[in-house]
Amino acid sequence: MSQTDHGNFVAGTWSGPLEPPNSVPSSADVVVIGGGIIGASTAWFLAKQGVDVVLCEKGHIAGEQSGRNWGWVRQQGRDTREMPMIVESMRIWRGLAAEIGEDVGYTEQGVLYAAATDRQMNRYAARIDTADEFKVGTRMIDANELAQHVSGGKGDWKGAMYTATDGRAEPHKATPAIARAAVSKGATVLTSCAVRGIEISAGQVSAVVTEHGPIRTSTVLCAAGAWTSMFCRSLGISVPQLKVRGTVARMAPSASVLDGNLCDDRIGIRRRQDGGYTLALGTNLDHPITPSTFRFGLKYLRAFLMDMESVQLLIGRDFAEEWSAPKTWSLDAESPFERTRVLDPEPNRKVLKSIRLNVDKVFPQLADVEIVESWAGMIDMTPDIIPLIDEAASLPGFYIATGFSGHGFGIGPGAGKAIAGMLSGNDSGIDLKEFRLSRFFDGTPIRPQAGV
Ligand SMILES: Cc1cc2nc3c(=O)[nH]c(=O)nc-3n(C[C@H](O)[C@H](O)[C@H](O)COP(=O)(O)OP(=O)(O)OC[C@H]3O[C@@H](n4cnc5c(N)ncnc54)[C@H](O)[C@@H]3O)c2cc1C
């Protein structure tokens, strides 16, 4: 997939320079590494507090996960530990367009997890208590009520878990718009600007070294998505992180068969603002086996057992690529981050075929509608499938926010607010202790509650 093939999708709606900056600021209060929804939202909240923040993105804003996702913004089916943050995130999404003066495609048309068996219905029903605790209005609906949401859908469903106030937004619009909002509040956003590493003085962060020169700072946020573990390893910090690939397709505009989002074992489908559908093969994902699979595998045992039906293990060239990748590098020469400006995995061709077959079966009215675009994205997941948000104990001033594990788009603005609070010392009201790094090493039981 090249930038030309995908026009607006890959380039997104980032209107800032795609060319490298001529220079970088000599200093900043905070430097954010990564221009996904987490980095951009954090920079926006910091800038609103008057913090002098510089965001460095090696490629372009939302070039990786944040521009490639399904666009679901959901509270339903989440890990209880994420609930306070997603509730706050929903509040931010609702007012986002008005606050920043830009459309991000946000609308609340509901999310449906449709179930074909009693077992699935029971599994979903078991999640209702958590939803009730946080008053998000999730409920089980029967096949008759489900039929009112899907016109002509032939899913043989018994019912669904449903949250009317869950929504969707357009990934290619949202993160660029948030990054522009950050700039309008005084942040500096640099694209084509990879961070190669960190300078340390007296045991703490003293600068980031970008490919265009150093920026003096005492506070760095590494929000580098799928690159975080590699970046941290070069600093001697172990971050358990594995990648799974999701394949996605976009259908041309058509008559509506569904206004919101629906997922079952065979399809993931959501209405797009352009009148088309974003499609996937249910929750199907591939995990390319790499040395990290063996390094961190034991910690992921529960996650794999839970998601076994939906994650395919693949052996391919990713193993050799990671094996031969450098573990450390000189800060004066080209780094791995400049060599891969945008992580752009090939979509899984078999999955694309199955998406077409399954959509035609479930929504025969869409059988003649063309699939006009396809892509893939590498999701970075932690062993318990909830994020890691913390300061590294071994390196004061170095903070990490990563591992949003397949559901970081919806929670992104809320996470950005919480992370900005952690960095600036202004309490956001969101407790981050469940997201600490030490949980993976101090004997805390690793217990994922919800899938990728
Ligand atoms: C196929 C797919 C479907 C998904 N569907 C959903 C969904 O429907 N709803 C939902 O909530 N979530 C979904 N997600 C998950 C969501 O997209 C992610 O959790 C979220 O986007 C993560 O944001 P991020 O900012 O942490 O990472 P990213 O968006 O990956 O951003 C990290 C950025 O850091 C940059 N970077 C890395 N290293 C460096 C460096 N050294 N210097 C400078 N820049 C660097 C990268 O270039 C990248 O742009 C999906 C993800 C995928 C791939």
**410 Cβ inside 6 Å of ligand 1:** yes
Indicate the burial class of 47 (C-beta count within 10 angstroms; 0-12, 13-18, 19 or more). buried
Pocket test for ligand 1, best of 44, 66, 245, 269 (most atoms within 8 A of CB): 66
Q: Which of 351, 350, 196 is nearest to 268 (CA)?
A: 351
Are the C-beta atoms of 79 and 386 separated by less than 8 Å?
yes
pTM of the model: 0.96
Of all protein residues, whose CA lies closest to atom 14 belonging to ligand 1? Answer: 406
Q: Is the CB of 191 under 6 A from ligand 1?
A: no
Supply angle C-alpha 435, 441, 444, rounded to 5.
65
Q: Is 113 in the pocket of ligand 1 (CB under 6 A)?
A: no
The alpha carbon of 66 and the centre of ligand 1 are apart by a number of angstroms equal to 4
User: How remote is the CA of residue 57 from the centroid of ligand 1, in Å?
Assistant: 12
User: Closest ligand 1 atom, CA of 226?
Assistant: 30
pLDDT digits (tens, 9 = 90+) for 351-382: 999 999 999 999 999 999 999 999 999 999 99
Number of the ligand 1 atom closest to the C-alpha atom of 402: 26
- In angstroms, the CA 295 to CA 323 distance is 12
Q: Which residues have C-beta within 8 Å of that of residue 413, sequence separation ≥ 6?
A: 37, 41, 89, 92, 93, 96, 178
- Cβ contact 189:182 at 8 Å: yes
The amino acid occupying position 282 is G
Ligand 1 pocket mutation, candidates 1, 33, 65, 220, criterion most atoms within 8 A of CB: 65
**451 C-alpha vs ligand 1 centroid, how far in Å?**
17
Q: Which atom of ligand 1 is nearest to the CA of 64?
A: 30
User: What is the CA(32)–ligand 1 centre distance, in A?
Assistant: 14
Q: Which residue has its alpha carbon closest to ligand 1 atom 31?
A: 36
344 in contact with ligand 1, CB cutoff 6 A: no
Asked whether 223 lines ligand 1 (CB < 6 A), one says: yes
The SS3 call for residue 67 is helix
| Ligand 1 pocket check for 363: Cβ under 6 Å | no
pLDDT in tens, the chain (452 residues): 333 333 344 445 555 555 678 889 999 999 999 999 999 999 999 999 999 999 999 999 999 999 999 999 999 999 999 999 999 999 999 999 999 999 999 999 999 999 999 999 999 999 998 889 999 999 999 999 999 999 888 889 999 999 999 999 999 999 999 999 999 999 999 999 999 999 999 999 999 999 999 999 999 999 999 999 999 999 999 999 999 999 999 999 999 999 999 999 999 999 999 999 999 998 889 999 999 999 999 999 999 888 777 889 999 899 999 999 999 999 999 999 999 999 999 999 999 999 999 999 999 999 999 999 999 999 999 999 999 999 999 999 999 999 999 999 999 999 999 999 999 999 999 999 999 999 999 999 999 998 88
Which parts of 83-188 fold into alpha helices (H)? 83-100, 118-125, 128-133, 143-147, 171-184
How many angstroms separate the alpha carbon of residue 37 from the centre of ligand 1?
7
> Atom of ligand 1 at shortest distance to CA of 39?
25
68 lines ligand 1 (CB under 6 A): yes
280 beta partners? 268
pLDDT in tens, 262-318: 999 999 999 999 999 999 998 889 999 999 999 999 999 999 888 777 889 999 899
Q: Report the alpha-carbon distance of residue 419 to residue 412 in Å, rounded.
A: 10
Please say whether the beta carbons of 44 and 104 come within 8 A.
Answer: no
- 258 Cα to the center of ligand 1, angstroms: 27
204: Cβ contacts below 8 Å, ≥ 6 apart: 218, 395, 396, 397
Distance 39 CA to ligand 1 centre (A): 9
Residue 142 Cα to ligand 1 midpoint, Å, equals 35
Residue closest by Cα to atom 25 of ligand 1: 36
Per the structure block, which two tokens stand in for 8? 């607006």
Q: Work out which ligand 1 atom sits closest to the CA atom of 59.
A: 47
For residue 302 the two structure tokens come to: 């529960």
